[in-house]
Amino acid sequence: MRRFDEQLAELNNMMLEMAALVEKTITMASQALIEQDTKRAKNVIAVEADVEQKEKEIESLCLKLLLQQQPVAKDLRVISSALKMITDLERIGDQAADISEIVIMMNGAPYAKNPEHISQMATATVKMVTESIDAYVKKDLKLAKSVIAYDDVVDDLFDKVKFDLIEMIRSDGKHGEQSIDLLMIAKFYERIGDHAVNIAKWVVYSITGKQA
Amino acid sequence: MKFSISNMDLFYGDFQALKNINIEIPANEITAFIGPSGCGKSTLIKSLNRMNDLTEGCKITGEIFLDGENIYGNIDVNALRKRVGMVFQKPNPFPMSVYDNIAFAPRTHGIKSKFKLNEIVEKSLRDAAIWEELKDRLKKSALSLSGGQQQRLCIARALSVQPDVLLMDEPTSALDPISTAKIEELVLKLKKDYTIVIVTHNMQQAVRISDNTGFFLLGELVEYGDTQQLFSVPANKRTEDYITGRFG
């Protein structure tokens, strides 16, 4: 294998590592949210620092490859897509940390109602992020497009959460603060879904050369 | 279209160097030909001003039209070469003064007026972006110039007969990066007034300056189209393999 192909394989591995870290932040943040586990929520913030570190390493490798190899065609698309995707991955990590901070602030106060739709949003967004990176590594156009389409599921769940929270406030005004916290959390998940869509769109570009 | 080439085959004796070439070269654009050594790209540009006529055993079939006129029909080849100038890989100034290098072709074409020749020399050197460097050295030997200056002088010499087309066969492969950058800037300026066809092994150069690129392999035109498109989403796998260095 020539040196450039080895470097591209290394880039793929690093993307997988960064994606695994990001998945870990969302999964941990979601568990912390459901179980009201502030200790786990604090750990998310530590993992998020690793995500940022990995972003810098990938950025540095991509810039080195652009300089050294002056890539064209598929190679250029793969490297430029990676550079764009890591920004979205890093933002997902940030949003998982933001969710965790709210969990820490809520400090274990019992939920007025089981946040089942938020829990479903968590599962859906983890799936989107995982599949978008799988699509990148396996160059799977169909999977990338299915991630883009799946955003509607997350958006529908967000609407359900809003409806649940309106009902919660309406039933008892004292749930106002918790409702707003949960609304922010749901909004962070909705944004995570949008970032996964961005990643999937860059996957489409890296495979086809056309912006989705 | 400046050139329209259709069903062109070229043979050197029994060897077929170009196979069924069909290509349209637009006016006032830069068209780059890329491909591995021996793929036929230089052979093709040499066919555009019938330089291949000078090669023994060279036979061409098919048609090449310049502004609608078949250049392999009954035409004046000297007039064709006046319209279609050429610059080579290695700068090849004549062993004479800067001035005489530029004035040589106009004199050959019968221009005798000193005033007119002065005008042509200045305009050609200005167009080749080298007037400021050479205006006080017009009587100096062209061989005393640097490689980059010699190449721009050769471009000025090609411009001295006011051609329509400039063919460039790897014009910067013998030059340092600064001289290369000056030639590239110059080529970009010249396309306003000239049609430029350039053969290059430097793919980044093709990306930087050309509007259209043709990829040649074993005498075939594998792919031809918009440069940005060809280098970002090549349509043919052989193009992709070549430009990404995975050829063979």
What is the CATH classification number for the domain harbouring A32? 1.20.58.220
Is B177 within the bounds of a domain? yes
pLDDT of residue A112: 84
Burial (CB < 10 A; 0-12, 13-18, 19+), residue A57, is: middle
Domain-located, residue B131: no
Give the chain B residue whose CA is nearest to the CA of A207: B233
3-state SS assignment for residue B234: coil
Structural domain containing residue A14: 3-208
- Residue B40 in domain: yes
Structural domain contains residue B98: no
A contacts of B231 (beta carbons < 8 Å) = 72-73, 76
Q: Determine contact, residues B85/B161, Cβ cutoff 8 Å.
A: yes
Q: Which of B204, B207, B232 sits opposite A209 (nearest CB)?
A: B232
Q: How many domains does chain B have?
A: 1
SS3 A114: coil
Q: Does A174 touch chain B (CB under 8 A)?
A: no
8 Å CB contact of A75 and B204: no
How many Cβ contacts (< 8 angstroms) between chains A and B? Answer: 29
Residues in chain A, how many? 212
Give the CA distances from residue A48 to residues A15, A38, A52, A90, in Å, rounded to whole numbers and listed in that order.
15, 16, 6, 8
pLDDT value of residue B248: 53
**Which residues does A178 contact at the CB level (< 8 Å), separation at least 6?**
A106, A109, A111, A112, A168
CATH of the domain at B182: 3.40.50.300
**Which of A74, A209, A210 lies closest to B244 in CB terms?**
A74
Taking an 8 Å cut-off on Cβ atoms, the answer to whether B245 and A210 are in contact is: no
Q: What is the model's pTM?
A: 0.86
Does B196 fall in a domain?
yes
Residues constituting chain B: 248
Cβ-Cβ contacts under 8 Å, B232 against chain A: 72-73, 76-77, 209
How many structural domains compose chain A?
1
Paired with B24 in beta bridges are B4
Confidence check: pLDDT of B44 > 60: yes
Chain A closest-CA separation from residue B207 CA (Å): 9
Percent of chain B as helix, strand, coil, to the nearest 5 = 40, 25, 35
Sheet strands side by side (includes B15-25): B15-25, B3-12, B58-66, B69-70
- On whether residue B10 sits in a domain, the answer given is yes
Q: What is the pLDDT along chain A (212 residues), one digit of tens a residue?
A: 788 999 999 999 999 999 999 999 999 999 999 999 999 999 999 999 999 999 999 999 999 999 999 999 999 999 999 999 999 999 999 999 999 999 999 998 888 888 899 999 999 999 999 999 899 889 999 999 999 999 999 999 999 999 999 999 998 888 889 999 999 999 999 999 999 999 999 999 999 999 88
Q: Which residues contact A122 (CB under 8 A, 6 or more apart)?
A: A26, A27, A29, A30, A33, A34, A189
Domain hosting residue B171, numbered range: 3-92+164-243
User: Given CA atoms B10, B11, B12, B17 in this order, what sign does their dihedral have?
Assistant: positive
Are B199 and B42 in contact by the 8 Å Cβ rule? The answer is yes
> Are the Cβ atoms of B244 and A73 closer than 8 angstroms?
yes
Backbone phi, psi, residue B165, to 5°: -125, 140
pLDDT in tens, B138-154: 999 999 999 999 999 99
3-state class (DSSP) for residue B58: strand
What is d(CA B11, CA B59) in angstroms, rounded to the nearest whole number? 5
Does residue B159 belong to any structural domain of this protein? no
Report whether A36 contacts A118 (CB < 8 A).
no
